[in-house]
Amino acid sequence: MPVFYGTEVASRLMLGTAQYPSPSVLTEAFRRSGAGIATVSLRREAAGGAEGAAFWDMIRDLGLPVLPNTAGCHSVREAVTTAHMAREYFGTDWIKLEVIGHADTLQPDPFGLLEAARILCADGFKVFPYTTEDGVLGGRLLDVGCEVLMPWGAPIGTGLGLNNLYGLRTLRAQFPEVPMVIDAGLGLPSQAARAMELGFDAVLLNTAVARAGDPAAMATGFARALEAGRLAYEADPMEPRDMAAPSTPLLGLAVLA
């Protein structure tokens, strides 16, 4: 199982807590998913309010490590401030760092992300940066203290899957010992299985489960796909080839007179 900042988690699935139609549906989806981490945005909380307290009680009842995120932050200052509030509220130094640079694609701002990561790592945070498949940026994030990389598969909430297989494969090969999580853009269990086959350590998703017609069933599908994909990766699969190759040997075939 993946290890993040020295902590081993129980599953390769990290699941978000937004957009579910009801608390009971959320709870059942998490139960069926076997998720190892629950991600939560501080912006869903109303500190000191009854609604926020009830939500936090429900998340605690899941019995999972919590990964707060800086969802929706568009500047370094906003992201850093949100991270400090999250650490105080949730009692963890883990933070999923988002610094959004483009309103339509929700692509990370590489310059703001790197600066915010530098500040937060220096302040003792264990940063999980939501980034692109850019290997140069990935290296810089590692240089400032990040020990995990979370490249997007596709823009958040699109369900398009792994848009840039070459870039993701190259990033994985460039930093083979670094834990990596595909974060955002997955819509189907088959896409999560593909991420595992490429050698990624986990996936983080929310919309694909929360907005499904049956979130609990979709959560189960993702859990099984992750297991299948990881097994395939560890089995050292055959390389694709351009020409057909017979699976039955030609030697020893019957000779017809």
pLDDT in tens, 49-85: 556 667 788 888 888 999 999 998 999 999 999 999 9
Determine, yes or no, domain membership for 29.
yes
pLDDT value at residue 51: 60
pLDDT value at residue 250: 64
139 C-beta neighbours (distance < 10 Å), count: 14
Determine, yes or no, domain membership for 26.
yes
pTM score, whole prediction: 0.90
> Would the pLDDT of 255 be above 70?
no
Determine, yes or no, domain membership for 97.
yes
Show the tokens assigned to 136: 């140069």
CATH code, domain carrying 186:
3.20.20.70
pLDDT value at residue 42: 76
Determine, yes or no, domain membership for 114.
yes
223 C-beta neighbours (distance < 10 Å), count: 20
- Residue 38, classed as helix, strand or coil, is strand
Mean pLDDT within 135-160: 97
Q: Which residues of 39-78 are buried (b: 16+ CB within 10 A; e: fewer)?
A: bbbbeebeeeeeeeeebbeebeebebbbbbbbbebbebeb
Range with the largest mean pLDDT of 8-12, 237-241, 244-248? 8-12
Residue pointed to by tokens 């990935």: 138
Residues labelled as active-site residues: 96
Element (H, E) at 142: helix 135-143
Percent of the chain with pLDDT strictly greater than 90: 79
Instruction: Please answer whether residues 235 and 49 qualify as being in contact, where contact means their C-beta atoms are separated by less than 8 angstroms.
Output: no
pLDDT value at residue 50: 58
Question: HSE of 104 in the Cβ direction (CA atoms, 13 Å)?
Answer: 0
Determine, yes or no, domain membership for 83.
yes
pLDDT value at residue 45: 47
Determine, yes or no, domain membership for 211.
yes
> Would the pLDDT of 143 be above 70?
yes
> Would the pLDDT of 31 be above 70?
yes
Average pLDDT value for the chain: 92
Annotated binding residues for 1-deoxy-D-xylulose 5-phosphate, written as ranges, equal 157, 184-185, 206-207
Determine, yes or no, domain membership for 248.
no
Domains of the chain: total: 1
Determine, yes or no, domain membership for 54.
yes
- CB-based contacts of 37: which residues, under 8 Å, 6+ apart? 9, 11, 14, 15, 64, 65, 66, 67, 204
> Would the pLDDT of 44 be above 50?
no
Q: Which domain holds residue 192?
A: 3-235
Annotated binding residues, written as ranges, equal 157, 184-185, 206-207
